[in-house]
Amino acid sequence: MEDDHPTHPDLPWPLTGADALRDELLAAYGEPSRGHHGTRHLAEVLARLDELAAAGTAFDRTPVLLAAWFHDAVYDGERDAEERSATWAEHALPQHADPATVAEVARLVRLTEHHRPEAGDDNGCALSDADLSILAAGRERYDEYVAAVRTEYAHLSDDVFTAGRADVLRALADAPELFRTAHGRARWEEPARANMARELGVLSSS
């Protein structure tokens, strides 16, 4: 899916004097090989963090926003993409942020591999919910998301992709709660589960 606005200069960026790093990240998200995990996804995660903050969800803005920027900075369909994204943050951020912030950003990026923040991990819960909020999108946007994910795995046969995607959805659906913030549970849990159930129905009939 091609992004109509590849530069997105209006996306909230929490660091002063680090525009070159922001532009590097935007270039990574804007790579033509990206499907779902491109600039549109970054913009939506940042927007959902704003929504959570407006709803009174507590989290530390600077590390969580930075983790949102870095969480899919590396994305090539390989399993260790989150680890490589976290490593990028650990190498790039020390000249712009204190060690505690750098460590927290890296921790949060690694957490997005499985989306299982501990209770009381306000930063992790906010980022995880914002990242998973696409599951609760309206039907048209959800179907665009599913199609975009498929393009990222174009190298896989339909049978292999279908089996893998169904496993991912079932693992998410088996969790007692997809969303860990009060706002996420109230606004996104029900539509997300309905979307996933519909997609699983389609996959099982393929």
What digits encode the pLDDT tens for the residues 151-186? 988 889 999 999 999 999 999 999 999 999 999 999
Q: How far is CA 89 from CA 37, 130, 165, 175, in A?
A: 17, 19, 28, 29
Is the model more confident about 78 or about 44?
Answer: 44
Q: At how many degrees (to 10) do helices 81-92 and 99-111 cross?
A: 170
In a domain, 66, yes or no: yes
The Cα 72–Cα 104 span in angstroms is 16
Return mean pLDDT, the chain.
92
pLDDT-wise least confident of 25-34, 87-96, 189-198: 25-34
Structural domain span for residue 97: 19-204
Which amino acid is present at 159? Answer: D
Helix (H), strand (E) at residue 70: helix 61-70
Structure tokens at 90: 């650990």
Answer yes or no: are the C-beta atoms of 156 and 63 closer than 8 Å: no
In a domain, 13, yes or no: no
Tell whether the model's pLDDT for residue 6 goes beyond 50. Answer: no
Tell whether the model's pLDDT for residue 33 goes beyond 90. Answer: no
**pLDDT above 70 as % of the chain:** 96
Q: Quick one: pLDDT at residue 68?
A: 98
In a domain, 5, yes or no: no
Answer yes or no: are the C-beta atoms of 123 and 63 closer than 8 Å: yes
Numbers of helices and strands, H then E, in the chain: 10, 0
Read off the pLDDT of each residue in 79-87 and give the average, rounded to a whole number.
92
Tell whether the model's pLDDT for residue 113 goes beyond 50. Answer: yes
Read off the pLDDT of each residue in 101-126 and give the average, rounded to a whole number.
95
The Cα 68–Cα 128 span in angstroms is 9
Q: Quick one: pLDDT at residue 4?
A: 38
In a domain, 12, yes or no: no
Answer yes or no: are the C-beta atoms of 200 and 173 closer than 8 Å: yes
In a domain, 1, yes or no: no
Q: Quick one: pLDDT at residue 79?
A: 76
Q: The domain that contains 54 carries what CATH number?
A: 1.10.3210.10
Q: Quick one: pLDDT at residue 120?
A: 94
| Structural domain total, the chain | 1
In a domain, 6, yes or no: no
In a domain, 94, yes or no: yes
Read off the pLDDT of each residue in 183-197 and give the average, rounded to a whole number.
98
Residue from 9, 84, 76 nearest 43 by CA: 9
At residue 9 the predicted structure's pLDDT band, cuts being 50, 70 and 90, is low
Q: What angle do CA 30, 35, 39 make, to 5 degrees?
A: 35
Which amino acid is present at 160? Answer: V
In a domain, 10, yes or no: no
Read off the pLDDT of each residue in 11-19 and give the average, rounded to a whole number.
94
